[in-house]
Amino acid sequence: MVFCYLKLSLLGDESLLFAAPKMTDSQQLISEQLEGLEIKLEINTWNDDLTNSSLRALHEALPNTRQLAWSDQLFAILAETTLPENGRMRISDNLAGLYGHHLNMFRVNKREEPDWDIVQTATFVLDIADEEFRQEKKYDKKYNTDSGITLRTDFKKNFLNWIEINLQDFQEAGFGGSPLKIFNQLCVYAKEGQALRLSQEKK
């Protein structure tokens, strides 16, 4: 409620909250800082065991506890993947915060809560990871582009391991084959969905 009030004060018109208005540079800067602060405050409220994470909350209505396990495991990978200081405005310090930012953008653009299975969630994560890592490539880190998207090599390794651990969930979602085959197909979906997401976020 507090952040909604601050954004309303910034825009000056309640009808603009979901209308993606054109803002001045200073308004845009303040808006981004508010959003970054909101995400950081949310992250600080999560327990160390991740039981209150937004990613878990996204799936908590699902009765299968195995699905809760894969979401917690994925969020742990995101939280451990730190983002470097690179001169641009930082939305977050790790991929977990970046995920939270884009999840909020999804809520604003769709005006609904996402109801994603393991495939949809993995695709969304690979989409935002690719966008971030393509911007990082000039820094002293190793990257891999074999799959058609740009990923930091350590993140790709952890993501492949996560797929292998949760292979049964992917099989139940209709994805067969090896973890690498599943990963490559997810990357194709991620790249296809990225253009649509970016167009929606820029409206």
So what's the pLDDT on residue 73? 93
Phi, psi of 114 (to 5 degrees): -70, 145
Listed residue (161, 166, 160, 165) closest to 186, CA to CA: 160
So what's the pLDDT on residue 87? 58
Specify the higher pLDDT residue, 59 or 68.
68
- Reported confidence tier of residue 7, pLDDT bands at 50, 70, 90: low
Listed residue (9, 85, 96) closest to 54, CA to CA: 96
Contact 179, 167 (CB under 8 A): yes
So what's the pLDDT on residue 161? 97
- Cα 203 to Cα 196: distance, rounded to the nearest angstrom: 11
So what's the pLDDT on residue 41? 63
What is the secondary structure of 7-23 as a DSSP string? HHHHHS-GGGTTS----
Contact 102, 128 (CB under 8 A): yes
User: Which pTM does this prediction carry?
Assistant: 0.67
pLDDT digits (tens, 9 = 90+) for 88-142: 555 678 999 888 888 888 787 777 777 789 999 999 999 999 989 988 887 777 8
So what's the pLDDT on residue 127? 93
Contact 89, 81 (CB under 8 A): no
Contact 83, 94 (CB under 8 A): yes
So what's the pLDDT on residue 57? 54
So what's the pLDDT on residue 51? 41
- Identify any residues that bridge with 183 across adjacent strands, giving them in sequence order: none
pLDDT digits (tens, 9 = 90+) for 12-34: 654 444 444 566 766 666 766 67
pLDDT digits (tens, 9 = 90+) for 157-191: 999 999 999 999 999 999 989 999 999 999 999 99
Q: How many helices (H) and strands (E) does the chain have?
A: 9, 2
Question: Could you give the angle at which helices 118-136 and 95-110 cross, rounded to 10 degrees?
Answer: 120
